[in-house]
Amino acid sequence: MKKNILLVDDDPGIRFGYTKFFTRNGYNLTAASSLTQARSAVAATRFDAALLDMVLPDGNSFDWIGELRRDHPDIAIEIGRAHV
């Protein structure tokens, strides 16, 4: 069974690259460009892992982690570094 990964990043190039990489390597990847889209995705799908950009147009991923952990304690979370 394929693993489900959630990618949350507002950069279209990053979403494109990660989507190509993970789908070519046998994963199901759902990409979201905002926390709002990410919240909708986790309400609809069970994810094994989430890759989060720190700063998004509608908030900060750090602020969402507590809620994500509470509602989905088994999801693995990785936070990317800010692009400077």
What is the DSSP secondary structure assignment for residue 53, as one 8-state letter?
A: -
Q: Look at residue 39 in the predicted model and tell me its pLDDT.
A: 96
Residue 12 has a pLDDT of 97
Q: Domain map of the chain by residue range?
A: 9-28+43-79
Q: Distance between CA 5 and CA 28 in Å, rounded?
A: 6
The residues, ordered by sequence, that sit 6+ positions from 38 with a Cβ below 8 Å of its Cβ are 6, 8, 32, 50, 52, 64
pLDDT at 2: 92
The answer to whether residue 82 scores a pLDDT higher than 80 is no
pLDDT computed for residue 81 by the predictor: 63
| Contacts of 59 by beta carbon, 8 Å cutoff, 6+ apart | 35
* Residue 84 clears pLDDT 80, i.e. is over it: no
| Residue pLDDT, tens place only, 20-71 | 999 999 999 999 999 999 999 999 999 999 999 999 999 999 889 999 999 9
